[in-house]
Chains A and B, each alone.
Chain A
Amino acid sequence: MVRPARIGSWAVPLRTVAFRFVLVYVVVFALSSAAIVGFTYWNTKRALDAGTDQIIQAEITGLSEQYQRFGLAGLTDAVISRSGHGGQSLYLLTDSLKRPIAGNLDRWPDIKARDGDFIEFDYLFGSGAKQERRRARGRVFLLTGGFHLLAARDVHERYQSEQLFTTTLPWSVGLLLILGLVGGVLMSRNLLSRLDSINRTSLEIMAGDLSRRVPVSAAHDEYDTLATNLNSMLDRIAQLMNGLREVTDSVAHDLRSPLNRLRNRLEGISMRLDPETDEGMEIEAAVAETDGLIGTFNALLLIAEAEAGVAREAMTLVDLSSVVEGVAELYGPVAEEKSIALEVSVSEVVQIEANRTLISQALANLVDNAIKYTPPGGRIRIVLREDPRGVLLAVEDTGPGIPDADRKHVLERFVRLESSRNSPGTGLGLSLVAAVVRLHDAVLELSDNAPGLKATLIFPRGFRRASRTKG
């Protein structure tokens, strides 16, 4: 059986779907935001640079015209005059060794550049204490005669924005991620608390309290739709269960009354007849048949009840070791008569919430079965112990066992193994065991005892039913 699952601790919602969803969403959102901002930045920078480059190009075109028309002296004059205007334009005219001739820059920037290259460089602006390092963008031009001309513009504002942007962007993305994660945790908690109330309710219902319903809030959101749907499904199940209970009761009543009359009549006749005559024997055989019929009917009804969970109401805290001892004591003499050793191995007092009568009957059926199939001289062991899987109650015999292929088959109603058709019994013994096992949320395992059969009931540890109202 699948154990009911529950959403884990609040402290680590990492494994929940909601949190993973939020995590993926936040990462994707942060990356795409960074990409959009980065693209805008890059585009803006490109446009600004293009504007700057255009101006520089115009300067250079103008200056080279001066050079062609008036020679070096004319160019020097033009550079000196333009440098004097101030503003953002920067000029430097040097000889072939890059020694300054004219211009408002002190020295040639330490950047390798070929003729026609656009470069970005730092220069010192102002003088004395007020001197500062600023960024400029310019173009290098090689004049005939080995002279170098640099025409540039101060782009320090743009450069600062760029610096600001590149240092801020990772922080912004980081902040976005952190805020997103915090939001995600809060959101998933909120979602989970709604889910958890649904889960809690379903656990309580699985524990047998069918009267529980999922709380519906006033928000009318999709959770409420889910809750409402679950609740109407539960109403339907409760209705079916009640229906089943009523059918079981009325079938029981409607069949038992005529069976009762039938048995009464047969018994009445048999009392008047001499049991030694043929008629007397026939009637006694008829009574015995009727009793067999009643036995099968009762067993079926009990299975139906156990499967419908009707018997849950009669659950109490039961000491399994006393059940084991009781059943062993009851069957001891029967086993002994067949020269079978019946042993009990109980490690400690083990209490579980159970229906004592049904548990005893299930164990009795297993032991009865074991005695039936174990040849004289064999051995039957009833073992009760706890292990990590839960509380184990096993009946091991040294009989012929059940072939692997047939084990599952055996638990089905009415099924009896071919080789045992002639043994007495209703064939419902193991089916009842299986139904009782389901009623107790336990597991029935049939395994090879090499040789023989080992039937193990595994009850979940700490199996406790919540207090319940009658459904």
Chain B
Amino acid sequence: MRILVVEDDLEAQRYLVNGLKEAGHIVDDAADGEDGLTLALSRAYDVAIIDRMLPKMDGLRLVEDLREHGNTTPVLFLSALSEVDDRVKGLKAGGDDYLAKPYAFVELMARLDALMRRRQPSAVKTRLVVGDLELDLLTRTATRGDVIIDLQPREFRLLEYLMRHAGQVVTRTMLLESVWEYHFDPQTNVIDVHISRLRAKIDKGFDMPLLHTVRGAGYMIRARA
């Protein structure tokens, strides 16, 4: 994957670029808004990571200009600004996701994966399958093997999100934002409790567990152990 990083904090940039390269991506970087825009327009990127506050051209302006040029590269905003209405502004300007600094690298990677995956055109799916677990989006039913699994509406949405991102790490924050549409940090490990209930429903009594905890990052659903 080819990733553009526009970040003026050089140390943070170096760390980000190294991390992404270690993860096997091709990375271009820029330290101000104007260079960032030039790069973004000159080349096709799978995703762009753009700091919200940049010298020469603000991150918001950069993305607005990019969108005006018809460029649809997925953009992840990084922001050290206060969060309350900054997220809304970022998404309004044409950003696809928003991550407040300081962030965990695993969180960033999980979000990048989700953004890049989203970009691949996929036919409208009516059925999601992971191993022998099937989710029918039309009849809103879940089955594993021959067993019908009874799910609450929210559990269904949680499982659907995990299965749409099968094989990818999904963080707690991503689940909270996508499944519950909350943009705050609940003090208790509420997500873990929801996951363990879901796990009890889909994995209990089956030989091969599908829902895995990724240490220090989040969760992943996949067929292979």
Per-residue CB contact flags for chain B residues 7-27 toward chain A (1 = under 8 Å, else 0) read 001011001100100000000
Bound-state CA distance A36–B105 (Å) is 93
Bound-state CA distance A135–B83 (Å) is 98
Nearest CB in chain A: distance from B126 CB, A: 26
Nearest CB in chain A: distance from B195 CB, A: 10
B102 touches A256 (CB 8 A): yes
Nearest CB in chain A: distance from B219 CB, A: 15
Per-residue CB contact flags for chain B residues 78-113 toward chain A (1 = under 8 Å, else 0) read 001111110010000000000011111110000000
A314 touches B85 (CB 8 A): yes
Closest residue of B by beta carbon distance from A361: B184
Tell whether A326 is near chain B: CB-to-CB under 8 Å: yes
Interface residues on B, range: 35 or more
A271: chain B residues at CB < 8 Å are 105
Tell whether A305 is near chain B: CB-to-CB under 8 Å: yes
Nearest CB in chain B: distance from A430 CB, A: 12
A334: chain B residues at CB < 8 Å are 188-190, 193
Tell whether A337 is near chain B: CB-to-CB under 8 Å: yes
Per-residue CB contact flags for chain B residues 145-157 toward chain A (1 = under 8 Å, else 0) read 0000000001000
Nearest CB in chain A: distance from B8 CB, A: 10
A264 touches B80 (CB 8 A): no
Tell whether A451 is near chain B: CB-to-CB under 8 Å: no
B215: chain A residues at CB < 8 Å are 275
A358 touches B80 (CB 8 A): no
Given contacts A257-B9, A261-B11, A265-B15, whether A333 and B193 have CB atoms under 8 Å apart is yes
Given contacts A275-B215, A298-B185, whether A264 and B193 have CB atoms under 8 Å apart is no
Tell whether A317 is near chain B: CB-to-CB under 8 Å: no
Nearest CB in chain A: distance from B109 CB, A: 11
B183 touches A260 (CB 8 A): no
B15 touches A268 (CB 8 A): yes
Within 176-196 of B, Cβ neighbours of A (below 8 Å) are at 180-190, 193-194
Closest residue of A by beta carbon distance from B180: A330
Which of the 9-residue segments A55-63, A112-120, A234-242, A246-254 touches chain B? A246-254
Nearest CB in chain B: distance from A300 CB, A: 11
Closest residue of B by beta carbon distance from A294: B102
User: Of the candidates A257, A291, A326, A365, which one forms a contact with B80 in the assembled complex, judged by CB atoms under 8 Å apart?
Assistant: A257
Tell whether A7 is near chain B: CB-to-CB under 8 Å: no
Nearest CB in chain A: distance from B180 CB, A: 6
Closest residue of B by beta carbon distance from A290: B102
User: Of the candidates B81, B84, B106, B180, which one forms a contact with A311 in the assembled complex, judged by CB atoms under 8 Å apart?
Assistant: B84
Tell whether B127 is near chain A: CB-to-CB under 8 Å: no
Most buried by B among A361, A372, A424: A361
Given contacts A253-B53, A260-B103, A368-B186, whether A305 and B180 have CB atoms under 8 Å apart is no
Per-residue CB contact flags for chain A residues 285-308 toward chain B (1 = under 8 Å, else 0) read 000001100110010011001100
Given contacts A259-B102, A260-B103, A333-B194, whether A305 and B187 have CB atoms under 8 Å apart is no
Bound-state CA distance A358–B83 (Å) is 11
A252 touches B85 (CB 8 A): no
B184 touches A357 (CB 8 A): yes
Tell whether A282 is near chain B: CB-to-CB under 8 Å: no
Nearest CB in chain A: distance from B59 CB, A: 12
Bound-state CA distance A34–B169 (Å) is 95
Within 392-428 of A, Cβ neighbours of B (below 8 Å) are at 424-426
B84 touches A302 (CB 8 A): yes
User: Of the candidates A252, A371, A429, which one forms a contact with B82 in the assembled complex, judged by CB atoms under 8 Å apart?
Assistant: A252
Bound-state CA distance A414–B187 (Å) is 16
Tell whether A49 is near chain B: CB-to-CB under 8 Å: no
Closest residue of A by beta carbon distance from B105: A267
Bound-state CA distance A248–B187 (Å) is 23
Tell whether B117 is near chain A: CB-to-CB under 8 Å: no
A331: chain B residues at CB < 8 Å are 188, 190
Tell whether B67 is near chain A: CB-to-CB under 8 Å: no
A426: chain B residues at CB < 8 Å are 187
B82: chain A residues at CB < 8 Å are 248-249, 252, 301-302, 305, 310
Per-residue CB contact flags for chain A residues 216-254 toward chain B (1 = under 8 Å, else 0) read 000000000000000000000000000000001100110
A314: chain B residues at CB < 8 Å are 84-85, 88
Per-residue CB contact flags for chain A residues 327-365 toward chain B (1 = under 8 Å, else 0) read 001110110010000000000000000010110110011
A298: chain B residues at CB < 8 Å are 83, 100, 185
Bound-state CA distance A257–B100 (Å) is 10
Given contacts A249-B81, A260-B80, A264-B15, whether A364 and B105 have CB atoms under 8 Å apart is no
A267: chain B residues at CB < 8 Å are 104-106
B53: chain A residues at CB < 8 Å are 253
* Sample of 13 further A-B pairs with CB below 8 A, known A256-B102, A257-B80, A291-B104: A256-B100, A263-B102, A264-B12, A264-B16, A270-B216, A275-B215, A298-B83, A326-B181, A330-B180, A330-B190, A331-B190, A333-B190, A360-B182
* Chain A interface (Cβ < 8 Å from any Cβ of B): 248-249, 252-253, 256-257, 259-265, 267-268, 270-271, 275, 284, 290-291, 294-295, 298, 301-302, 305-306, 310-311, 313-314, 326, 329-331, 333-334, 337, 355, 357-358, 360-361, 364-365, 368, 371-372, 424-426, 429
The 16 sampled A-B contact pairs (Cβ below 8 Å) are A256-B100, A257-B12, A261-B12, A261-B15, A264-B16, A268-B15, A294-B102, A306-B84, A310-B82, A330-B186, A330-B190, A333-B197, A355-B84, A360-B184, A361-B182, A425-B187
